[in-house]
Amino acid sequence: MPDAAALCALHHAATVFLLKRPGAYRHSNVKLRQEGGGLLRPPTWNVVPGLMEAFFVELERIWTEGDALDVAAYALWRITWIHPFRDGNGRTAFAFAYGCLCLKLGVLLPQTETVLDQMLADPAQCNGPLGVVDKSVRGDADRAPDLTSLKRFYDQLLLRQIRAAE
pLDDT in tens, 32-43: 876 665 667 899
Q: What average pLDDT does the segment 91-108 reach?
A: 94
Identify the CATH class of 4-165.
mainly alpha
How many Cβ atoms sit within 10 Å of the Cβ of residue 9?
14
Find out whether 27 and 45 touch, Cβ atoms under 8 Å.
Answer: yes
Res 141: pLDDT? 67
In angstroms and rounded to an integer, the radius of gyration of the C-alpha atoms of the chain is 15
Q: Look at residue 20 and tell me whether its pLDDT is greater than 90.
A: yes
How many Cβ atoms sit within 10 Å of the Cβ of residue 88?
20
Q: Look at residue 21 and tell me whether its pLDDT is greater than 70.
A: yes
Task: Tell me whether residue 19 is exposed, middle or buried, using C-beta atoms within 10 angstroms of its C-beta: 0 to 12, 13 to 18, 19 or more.
Answer: middle
Q: Look at residue 139 and tell me whether its pLDDT is greater than 80.
A: no
